[in-house]
Amino acid sequence: MSILYPIQYEDFLRQALQEDLGDAGDITSAAVIPADFETEAFLLSRTDGRICGLDIALSTFKLLDPHIKTQLYCADGDDVTANQKLAVVQGNARSILSAERTALNILARLSGIASTTAQAVAQVKDCKAQVVCTRKTTPNLRKLEKYAVRIGGGKNHRFGLYDGVLIKDNHREIAGSIDLAVKRVRQSVGHMVKLEIEVDTLEQLDAALAAGVDLVLLDNMSIADLKQAVQRCQGRVITEASGGIDLKNILAVAQTGVDLISLGWLTHSAPALDVSLDVNL
């Protein structure tokens, strides 16, 4: 699984640190804490969950103050329980407290997505279906949030408009027919690109299979229709279910035999994991 290189997120963290520091800086710590006060602090989980972004969060401290030392007690992908120590941070107390909120915000968000994804994956663990995310991500955090989905046990769908074709309703209707839309894509895109089409009915599915596609997105279909759809595809194309799927009905969807289940809420509505930093005086 692809891990992010620091070069891919350090500018994001520097910008976030400056968002919190502003021009006046951390006026509370500067006033209250002696300049040379050294301390250590623990990153802690406050509820159960799947950890993601721990390395990234720890690098936040080091970007603010290269003298800070950190040590991991767990790693991205680990399931933790409430009040578990995740890592320790040692160094200048002002620096640690100045970076605290930025580090926690990124850790809480990514762990929240990973934890939510892990819950969905757990529901379908006895089926072949894979849980996949969508492009419904926070603007400018996509690479981080897609990474959190992978850490949660899910797979990534397209990263953007650029790395795969997905013919949706609007495209199909403008093109006039499924057949025409697919033909135009085949003439246009390169040989490394896969072609998926969204279908809402079994009739559209038949047209898509006839036109020749790599994947079909079965959107908002009933369980019965999903079963039918999977049968008709006979393994010739990859099948993906989407629309109106939650933790209660995901198993039923998976049991239809679809290959993929895509869930927008993994990224757009996952609650943050509760994490905190405790100074150890």
The contact pattern for a copy of itself, residues 212-231, with x = CB under 8 A and - = no contact, is ---x----------------
β strands within 93-136, DSSP E:
130-132
Residue of 3, 122, 223, 247 that binds a copy of itself (CB under 8 A): 3
69-103 burial, b at 16+ Cβ within 10 Å, e below that, comes to ebeebbebbbebeeebebbbbbbbbbbbbbbbebb
Size of the site for a copy of itself (CB under 8 A): 108
Q: Catalytic annotation on 278? A: no
Kindly tell me which of 23 and 126 has the beta carbon lying closer to a copy of itself. 23
Kindly tell me which of 160 and 235 has the beta carbon lying closer to a copy of itself. 160
CA-angle at 151, arms to 149 and 156, nearest 5°? 40
User: What residues between 174 and 193 interact with a copy of itself by CB under 8 A?
Assistant: 174-175, 181, 184-185, 187-193
The least CB distance from residue 202 to a copy of itself, in Å, is 22
User: What residues between 15 and 54 interact with a copy of itself by CB under 8 A?
Assistant: 15-35, 37, 39, 41
CA-angle at 115, arms to 110 and 117, nearest 5°? 95
The least CB distance from residue 177 to a copy of itself, in Å, is 11
If we measure between CA atoms, which residue out of 124, 162, 140 comes closest to residue 132?
124
User: What residues between 103 and 162 interact with a copy of itself by CB under 8 A?
Assistant: 104-106, 108-109, 112, 130, 132, 135-143, 146, 155-162
Spatial distance between the Cα atoms of 241 and 217, rounded to a whole number of angstroms = 6
Q: Catalytic annotation on 172? A: no
75 makes contact with a copy of itself (CB under 8 A): no
What's the gap between Cα 209 and its chain centre? 30
Q: Catalytic annotation on 168? A: yes
Spatial distance between the Cα atoms of 195 and 241, rounded to a whole number of angstroms = 16
Catalytic residue numbers read 101, 136, 168, 198, 219
